[in-house]
Structures are given as C-alpha cells and as structure tokens.
A and B are shown apart, each in its own frame.
Chain A
Amino acid sequence: MTATPWQAPKLDDTLKVAIHDKMVLGRATEEMLIRMMRTGHGYFWIGGPGEEGFNVPLGLLTKKGHGPDFDYLHLHYRSSATILAMGGAPIDILRQMRSTATDPFSKGRNFVNHFAIKPWNVVPVTPTIETQYATVIGTALVQQRHGGDGLSYVTGGDAGSAEGDFWTCMNWSTRPGRELPVLILVTQNEFGISTPANQTQNNLRLNERANGFGIKNACVDGNDPIASWHALVEAMAYVRHERKPYCLQANVSRLYGHSSSSGANRYDEPDCVSLYEQRLIRENLMTQAEIKAVWDKHNAQLADDLQKVIAEPMPDKSQVLQHVWHEGPAGN
C-alpha cells in the first residue's frame, strides 16, 4: 500500500448525499441487528443507532490502510457506522450478531460490533471499555517515530471517560518532546447504562478535561453530520500535522437505549438521520422519494444478507481450541 498524504475530500453536494447513504446504511443495519435479537437470530445486541451523524464522517475521513502510515482505530462498541462508512460489509456485522463461524471479526466469539480488521488497522474491539485509551498510546508511539501523517484515534462514551485509562492517554500523549498523534473522541449521550451523567460528571463537556494537559479540544453536535465533518477535519488536520493530541467530544443520542439488556426500545431523542434528511430536502439535495429509495435499497440488501447468514454454519467443538496461540511468524 502506498502512503500518500492525507487530504480531506471536499464536502460537496455529492458527498453530502453519500453521507446520507452511509448514515441510512448504518441505521438500517443496526435496526436489522435489533430485529435479529428479537427473533432469535442473536443473543445480545449493542450498537450505535443515534451516532451515525458523527460516526459516518469519522469513517469517511479515516486514512484507511495497514501499517503506521495509516490511521489506527481503537473503537468501542458503537462504531458500526464508522466501519460501514469505510466500506465494511453489513453482512459481516450480521454474521457477528448471529455468532456464525463465518463472522470475520471473531468467528462467533465476541458480541456484535466488536470488530478486528487488520488490513484497516482496526485493532480488536474489547468489552473492557477503558483499555482502548491505553492501547492507543502504543500505536501512536510507533506512528510518531515512523513519521508521515497517520494518526491513532480512540472512541469511548462519556461514562467511560471516568476510567483511569482516559487520563493515562492524555498524560502519555503530552509528555514534553514526546507528544503523540492521538485523536481522543468522546461520545456524550449523558448516560452510562442507566446512570445519568449529572450524577457523575461535574461538567458535561468532557473534552474540557483535556485543558489540564494543554490538549487542544472542542465539542461538536454529533447529530449534525456537516458540523461533525468540519470538526473532524480540523481535529484530524491538527493531529496529522502537529503530531500532537486533540480531544473532540460529540454530543449524540442513544436511540435504542444502552443495549438489548434494557430492551432496545426506541427513545424520543433527536434522530440525526431524520434531521439530516429534513435538511437535504430543505437544501434541495434530495427528494423524499430519493430518500425512500435509499432506505429501500439498504433494507432489501440486509434482508437478503440475513437469509444468507441464517444458512451459514455455527462454530462447533473443533473450533474451541483454535487461535489460543498464534502459530507462525510474529508480527502484525
């Protein structure tokens, strides 16, 4: 893979329509996952409906590839729209939901939306929602030494930012003369499972915690993909070229609650997809009919995908002991 310098695409009308397409794909995929959970085609659902307005621009702006010239992604479990925006196949997410042996991210071992994609530097998503802030230091350190404009980004929720690794990340990435190209992303939905943010956070702008480390930071309305795009372009340009950390908070909705454990019912919170659709119509970029066609296209594809996935094999006894150890030469 050749490493050309990163350049943010121009946000023109075509791209604005393409962002919508990916946001709908993200939402339709998540709604399919929830239906799968309800109809017995998966045990547990957790995902990112309500974060597409931020996660799609993030995926589209990622410098995608393998190795330190490209971005490393240390994600948590609400990042489906980012992976789909990067070109991930929805059927693979359905496979992980159903925990089939064909699930390319974990062979049915991990929850849905727990990606691991080496060709794209997506390091394994783990349910321990703080460790990603610690592992991001290592990839960023390799990139700092390597040069170029690749960065490492890490995503996490508002509640999870209380964990020590969040502070570890800020501290290690600001050591004098050893600053690291880390983009720290926090999605503020004002909940950690059931606990409202006002019981645990004295300032809902968690990005301002970065002030104590002298880290440049900002907060953006994650329900607005255009604002998110611009905020990410600015943050990424800074990290790529200054080779220093940046902390960006996106205020987002949690449209179906925390996970299937709380029922995955729809909540009355701002919906970034429908807000964006109203805007596209207002700005004469799409018609209602065109929007409906996008939904129909993705829903039809997902329905086909589901039929395929249902027919695929499940892991069996012979697979339990596979991959306990890595065989063959070391190295990623």
Chain B
Amino acid sequence: MANLAQAIRLALHYGEENLGVTDIFGEDVGAPLGGVFTATQGLKTAWNTPLDERGIIGTALGIAYAGGKPVAEIQFCDYIYNVIDLLKLCGNVTWSSAGEYSVPMVLMTPVGSGIHGSMYHSHSFESIATHIQGWKIVMPSNPKDAYGLMLSAIAEPNPVLFLAPKALMRQKGAELIPGEPADERTLHAMIDAPLGDRSDWTPNWPPVEDYRVAIGEAKIARAGTQLTVVTYGRMLPLSVNAAETLAKEGLEIEVIDLRTIYPFDLPCVKASVEKTGRLLVINEDTEVTNFGEHIIRKVLDEAFYSLEVKPELLAGLDVPGVGLAWGYEQNSVPQADDVLAAMRRLATERA
C-alpha cells in the first residue's frame, strides 16, 4: 500500500497527466530531493524555488491569473506566517473582482506534531486558515483520501489548502488507490528515487485512475451510537484506535473523519449528534479560537436539543510552541491516552 507521501505524489502525477497541472513548486520540491517528505519526487512539472515563501505564493497566484494550474508548497506550515496577506489576496480576488478572476490553485503544506519537530515543525494551521476567507481547506488522514482529496483540490476552481499531517506521511493505507500495484515493493521500485545519485532516474508511474473524494464530504470512519467524535488528520487514527479499545468496554463510539475542514460537512456531524447526543471534537491546534469551537457552535445552533451532555473540545494547550523534549509535546498536544480518556469520560458521563 502506498504511504501518504506516495499517495500525494501519485495524485500530483495524475494531475499533471490528466487535470492540467502546470507547475508543482516550492523549496526543495524539484529534483534531486523531490520534497522534504518526498511527496513531489519524480514529477515532471516539479521545480525548486528560491527560499522565499512570498515569492512562492505570489508566483502561484500569477500562474493562476495566466491560465495555469499551480500546486505550490510551503515546506512546513510553521513558515507560512509571512505570506498571510498573500493568502488573503488569493482568497479575496474572486470576490473583490466580482467574479472577473478565479484562483484555481492548490497550496500544500505539512502540519502538526508527532515527529519531534519542536518549535517550528509542529504547528497546526487550520484554525488560522479558516479565518482566511475564500479558501477551501482539506486534510486527509490516510493515503487513499489524500489521493482523492488532491484530485478534487486540483479540479477545484477556487484556492484549496491541502494540509498534510506530517506524522502520517510514512503511514501506509489500508486500501489500494485505484491503479496502484498490489505489492508495495513493486510500487517502491517504480516510483521511489534511489538513494545516492539519481540524476539518471525517472519514475515508472503505475496507471493510477481517477478517484475523487469530494470537497465538503466527511466520512464515518467508525460507526457508533453513544458518542460522536469529530476529528481529522493525525488525530483520526488515534481516535479510531481509542474507539476500538472502548468497544471492548461496550462503548460504541462514532468517529467522523472530517476530511474537509472548510466548508465542513455539517449535515454529517449533525445527523451523528442527533443519534448519539454527545459530541467530542479533537484536533491538535491550540485551543483558543480553535476551529473545533466553531464546530461546536454550529452544533449548538443546529442540534442543541439533541445534546445530552455538554460538548467538548480536546485540543492543544494554549502555549507558544511545541517543545522538543517529550515532556513538552506529550503534555501540550493530545496523545493517545488523552483521546481515550476524553472519549471514555464523555461517552459515560451521566446525562
């Protein structure tokens, strides 16, 4: 099975061949490295930019203006903060020009903790991103969804922010991407660059097929009746694991993989809360003005009388960074134990 980085690569390859992608670019995105997580290795339109995030976003917008289809990368979302006004511009061009220009661009960036990344390789960005209007924001939790979301992002006529949970980049999927070889060693030999000199190397792409995950559609990753957990990205596998553990205790927990953070699938969340009467939102962004608060507010607006207990948010502590020593990360970003404890408590709380 492809891992998440390979899935992104396969999707970008499909995009180059079939969906009009003209440029895949960013710092170290082109040869020889093909991205710090190898997500852009071997792609024919991938190129290296100067170390200049403002140039990267400006160039992407310019390419979109000129009829191209750019996929730009900010190497880590921790380094995205100096382009906020350009992101704002990408998001407001269609509205401010009253529809004259559209902005068909994809921006991908790795997010989140879990790799001992310390202060500047552990940030989350979705909460800030949702304050930049005019963008759609997606975050996969597995390779097949990464593939399907990337294809939808490329086909989308609006700017799409593709957040890649960096701790899951090497995680393999449970399901094959359509057209992916069944044996992962075959895939590796076909599309992973060799170590050392790779100047003569070209990938041998498998015939991957069109497979889309629609933007705005959540997925019920695990069905249940006693608690709704809404999450995405790296927190999704932790939540599913916890739900499986709790099932042995007789607790049936529904885990929703949001997949699209904005605009999020409120009907799916609402239907689940109406069934379970309980809501726990989990993500690793810092808790103040966290996107999970918005999810809870929408549920209060739309399904208040279905709630049996107060909804909760499990998120990162409101501290300036994720510290390198494990004691910092472990105690500021939700971990498997925290997820399990929060789920058990909320599922069993007396109504």
Contacts and interface: CB of A to CB of B under 8 A. Distances in A.
Given A168-B54, A326-B158, A332-B65, A118 B59 contact: no
B158 to A, nearest CB: 5
A260 to B, nearest CB: 20
Contacts of B64: 138, 332
Given A134-B54, A168-B58, A330 B98 contact: no
B178 interface: no
Interface size class of B (residues with CB under 8 A): 35 or more
A331 B68 CA distance: 7
A170 to B, nearest CB: 11
Contact of B63 (A74, A124, A138, A171): A138
Contacts of A136: 58, 62
The residue among B55, B104, B158 with the most chain A CB atoms within 10 A of its own CB is: B55
B101 A116 contact: yes
A16 interface: no
Contacts of A322: 98-99
A140 B63 CA distance: 8
Interface stretch (A125-133, A190-198, A284-292): A125-133
Contact of A142 (B49, B63, B100, B101): B63
A135 B100 contact: no
Contacts of B69: 330-331
Contacts of A107: 98
B96 A135 contact: no
A324 B95 contact: yes
Please classify the interface of chain A as helix (H, G, I), strand (E, B), loop, or mixed, using the class held by over half of its residues.
Answer: loop
A140 B59 CA distance: 9
A28 to B, nearest CB: 26
Interface string B85-106: 1101100011111111111100
Interface centre among A114, A142, A329 (most CB of B within 10 A): A142
B52 A326 contact: no
Contacts of B97: 105-106, 116, 124, 323
A44 to B, nearest CB: 15
A110 interface: yes
Nearest to B72: A138
Interface in A313-332: 322-332
Contacts of A324: 94-95, 133-134
B157 interface: yes
B156 interface: yes
A105 B157 contact: no
Contacts of B103: 326
Nearest to A143: B66
A105 to B, nearest CB: 7
B156 A330 contact: yes
Contacts of B85: 128, 131
B54 A164 contact: yes
Contacts of B86: 131, 134
Contacts of B307: none
Contacts of A104: 98
Which of B68, B85, B100 is most buried by chain A, counting CB atoms within 10 A of its CB?
B100
A68 interface: yes
Given A331-B104, A332-B65, A323 B58 contact: no
Nearest to A116: B97
A172 interface: yes
Contacts of A117: 100
Interface hub of A135, A141, A165 (most chain B Cβ within 10 A): A135
A168 B70 CA distance: 19
A138 B158 contact: no
B98 A138 contact: no
B67 interface: yes
13 contacts: A106-B98, A109-B95, A126-B96, A134-B57, A136-B62, A138-B58, A142-B62, A142-B67, A152-B62, A171-B52, A323-B95, A326-B94, A326-B103
Interface of A: 67-68, 72, 74, 103-107, 109-110, 114, 116-118, 123-124, 126, 128, 131, 133-143, 152, 164-165, 168, 171-172, 175, 322-332
Interface of B: 22-23, 49-50, 52, 54-55, 57-70, 85-86, 88-89, 93-104, 133-134, 155-158
Given A138-B64, A168-B54, A171-B50, 8 more contacts: A72-B66, A105-B97, A105-B98, A105-B100, A116-B96, A139-B66, A172-B50, A172-B52
